[in-house]
Amino acid sequence: MTMKAAVLEHIRTSLVVRDIPTPEPKLGQIGVRVSACGVCRTDLHIMDGELPEPKLPLVPGHQVVGSVVDLGPGVSGFSAGQRVGIPWLGFTCGTCAFCVSGRENLCLQARFTGYHEDGGYAEYAVADARFCFPLPAGYSDLQVAPLLCGGLIGYRALRMAGRGARRVGFYGFGSAAHILAQVCRSQDQAVYAFTRPGDVSAQSLALRLGASWVGDSQQKPPVPLDAAIIFASDGALVPAALRAVDRGGAVICAGIHMSDIPSFPYDILWEERMVRSVANLTRADAREFLALAARVPIRTEVEVFSLEGANDALTRLRTGRIVGSAVIDLGGRR
Ligand SMILES: [Zn+2]
Ligand SMILES: [Zn+2]
């Protein structure tokens, strides 16, 4: 059997839509008919060769929604027809120092969907069942897809900001930030949205979602922030965010790749401000966030593309022309 997939043959080339063999679930894996797959900036970093040694040829995509069609040997806890999500974290060893201390996001042998393993820019996908999740009802397949990276990893970043953070800034108001803004509002946290200069559509989305203030990334917010989360990949935002946070405030870099951070004077870090990164996700993060998403609820703003339109979606994401999240529609709706 063959299926249609968008394939990265070599880094720094466009995806090619072609027929490839339909993957069959091996030991511990489930086979999924994909219905939707979110598009993430990380896909661009992989395609651009900014992340080392991707599987090639590769089917990208790590926000995969579909229904179970096949169970490999040894799989329990899933049944045919069930809706599942396949996120970025695809495998951990379970035995390294990080895995055994509740930090499997840092596992030395971690493998990631749509990077080391084929992902969801295809009609079918297989994944290790232990890393797949049932998804909250009340979301369509297209609307739930962006929760699987923008939501999950964004939520981990928001937690790093600390429960006490009342004023939270987002640098880059795309997929993750528009999801998290809704989580913040449900927890009575005020949102400050920083966008590329003059990005009126992202700024008006932020205002619609209840942001207290919107501005350009080099602007100072009207009040000092308790925390700032940087989703954009521009290292120059780190000193800008440090200048925007109050004493004791945290600046969290949530992207997997960032350009070099320019040097900055010590006094913008002084007074116990801190800078940290957030890497990947744990399965506990996923369970916690998906339970929260069932309660909030979050309304994702999605722009839908066909599989043939995947390159268009990626180009528009690169040039900042996606409002909310881009999602590829793979059709297989139940
Ligand atoms: Zn992602
Ligand atoms: Zn490990």
Cα 131 to averaged position of ligand 2 atoms, centre (Å)? 14
Q: How far is the CA of 223 from the centre of ligand 1 (A)?
A: 31
pLDDT tens for residues 261-291? Answer: 999 999 999 999 999 999 999 999 999 999 9
Judge whether 140 and 25 are in contact, CB under 8 Å.
no
What is the 222 CA–ligand 2 centroid distance (Å)? 43
| Whole-number pLDDT of residue 58 | 98
CA of 96 to the centre of ligand 2 (A): 4
Q: Which two tokens stand for residue 122?
A: 């295809």
Among all bound ligands, the one having the nearest atom to the CA of 100 is 2
Q: Is 34 helix (H, G, I), strand (E, B) or coil?
A: strand
Q: What's the chain's average pLDDT?
A: 96
* Concatenated DSSP letters of 54-91: --SSB---S-EEEEEEEE-TT--S--TT-EEEE-SEEE
The ligand whose atoms approach the alpha carbon of 146 most closely is 1
Asked if pLDDT for residue 52 goes beyond 90, the answer is yes
Ligand closest to Cα of 91 equals 2
**Does the pLDDT of residue 334 top 70, yes or no?**
no
C-alpha–C-alpha distance, residues 123 and 6, integer Å: 10
Residue-wise pLDDT tens digits, 206-240: 999 999 999 999 899 999 999 999 999 999 999 99
> In angstroms, what is the span from residue 326 Cα to ligand 1's centroid?
11
- What are the residues facing 286 on neighbouring strands? none
One-letter identity of residue 7: V
Transcribe 213-279 into DSSP letters.
EEEETTSPPSS-EEEEEE-S--TTHHHHHHHHEEEEEEEEE-SS--PPPPP--GGGTTTT-EEEE--
Read off the pLDDT of residues 134-156 as tens digits, 9 standing for 90 and up.
999 999 999 999 999 999 999 99
How far is the centre of ligand 1, averaged over its atoms, from the C-alpha of 256 (Å)?
8
pLDDT surpassing 70 at residue 167: yes
Tokens of 43: 């896909």
Peptide bond into 57 cis (omega under 30): yes
* pLDDT at residue 333, as a whole number: 72
Structure tokens at 85: 């999500």
Give the whole-angstrom CA distance, residue 324 versus residue 201.
Answer: 10
Going by DSSP bridges, is the β-strand pair 111-112/89-91 parallel, antiparallel, or unpaired? antiparallel
CA distances (Å), origin 190, targets 115, 238, 289, 294: 35, 20, 19, 21
Q: Closest-lying ligand to the alpha carbon of 95? A: 2
Query: What's the gap in Å between 166 CA and the centre of ligand 1?
Result: 26
Separation of CA 271 and ligand 1 centre (Å): 33
HSE of 145, CA atoms in CB hemisphere, 13 A: 32
**143, amino acid identity:** Q
3-class SS of residue 153 = helix
Domains and CATH numbers, the chain: 2-148+281-329 (3.90.180.10), 151-277 (3.40.50.720)
d(CA 174, CA 172): 6
From the CA of 255, which ligand is nearest?
1
Cα–ligand 1 centroid distance for 42 (angstroms): 5
Nearest bound ligand to CA 108? 2
- Give the H/E segment covering residue 289: helix 283-295
Tell me, what DSSP letter sits at residue 117? B
Q: Which residues contact 230 (CB under 8 A, 6 or more apart)?
A: 171, 172, 237, 238, 241, 251, 252, 253, 254, 255, 258
The answer, as to whether pTM is greater than 0.85, is: yes
For residue 134, which amino acid is it? Answer: P
Could you say which DSSP state residue 161 is in?
A: T
Give me ligand 2 centre to Cα 62, in Å: 20
Residue type (1 letter), 61: G
